[in-house]
Structure 1
Amino acid sequence: MIRLGLPVALLVLVCDQASKYWILNILDLPALGSIALLPVLNLTMVWNHGVTFGLFKGLGGVGPWLLTGVAVAVVALLLVWMARTDRASVAIALGAIAGGAIGNVIDRIRYGAVVDFIHAHAFGWSWYVFNVADASIVCGVAVLMIDSLFERRRAG
């Protein structure tokens, strides 16, 4: 199923990097700060020096390299899993996760931080600012969780 998962990873990576290029170089969101698109959605520039939800951002200068190393190791494991699976949904989910992880690794190497810019909010609630890579990772993990639940029902 690696023939299915790798194109998904590449698609996620291209969409992630293209969106970040547009945010940084065409729109110049760092200079603008935030733009309201809808009553529930803004483009808001955030440089995430940590990982998910800004965790581990206090690692200093070694942080981006440490997080990059961990992400590369995780992607290698995901590719092994992808090569071994016989389930299309798992291969697609793993591709989404791997593509997103690689997109964020590229940011850490280029900028020392991840480019986050999608800000959803409603009724006084605000979600963390994220990017295409983050959304792909979350969706991929959700598919793996759902697939796991259904696989247990089929097996039991």
Structure 2
Amino acid sequence: MRTVALVAAITFVIDQLTKWLVVHVMSLDTRLAIDVWPPFVNFRMAWNDGINFGLLGSGDEAAKWILISVALGIVLFVLVWLRRDPPGWPGLVAGGLLIGGALGNVVDRLLYGAVADFLNMSCCGIDNPFAFNVADIAIFAGALGLVLLPGRKPGKKGS
């Protein structure tokens, strides 16, 4: 479980550091857009008070607390799951990514009332209107890793 805690802590710090740099140091919250490497990588400020792609966003205070509760519930579920059926080192890393990303987005909701999304990527004539953040990447990679890296198989001892 040390691996999970370490990866979660590193993911959380990187997520919060990138948000702080982009939103506050680079003033993306007032500039709203910074072209980094157009059209491939751009910063576009988006305050997401819902789930992925702003779904279920209402700006309602109760919705914020429900989403925080759901995220913390998922973190607790993943921790219990990893403890009961440790998946090996790659799976523990995946669990840490998911947990660190989820906690990063929870902190955003507590600090700002919404998740700070800023990464925008487009390519090949497709103009992507959506933004995301480091926590979103970690959550996606962690969930994918947990699905693809199952726990240990029950085996016979002493055979």
Same fold (TM over 0.5): yes
Runs of 4+ that moved beyond 3 A: none
Cross-structure match for 1:128: 130
Match of 1:29 in 2: 28
Distance 2:12 2:64 in 1: 19
Deviation at 1:82, TM superposition (A): 2.3
Given the superposition, is the C-alpha separation of residues 33 and 86 from structure 1 closer, same or farther in structure 2, using an over 3 Å criterion?
Answer: closer
What residue in structure 2 maps to residue 96 of structure 1?
A: 97
| Structure 1 residue 86: Cα displacement | 4.3
> TM-score, normalising length from structure 1?
0.89
- State the identity as a percent: 35
> Higher helix fraction: Structure 1 or Structure 2?
1
The 5 A counterparts of 1:20-99 are 20-39=19-38, 40-58=40-58, 60-84=60-84, 85-99=86-100
Specify the alignment match of 1:119 in structure 2.
120
In structure 2, list runs of 5 or more residues that go unmatched. 154-159
**How many residues are aligned here?**
149
* TM-score, normalised via structure 2 length: 0.87
Compare CA radii of gyration and give the structure with the larger one.
Answer: 2
Take 1:59 and 1:111, find their aligned partners in 2: how far apart are those partners? 11
**Among residues 137, 140, 147, which one is paired with 1:138 in the alignment?**
140
Q: CA deviation at 1:93?
A: 0.4
Offset, 1:52: 1.2
Inter-CA distance 139–127: structure 2 relative to 1 (3 Å threshold): farther
CA contact (8 A) 2:87 2:149 kept: no
Alpha-carbon separation, structure 2, partners of 1:38 and 1:48 = 23
In the alignment, which residue of structure 1 is the partner of 2:156?
none
Q: CA RMSD in A?
A: 1.7
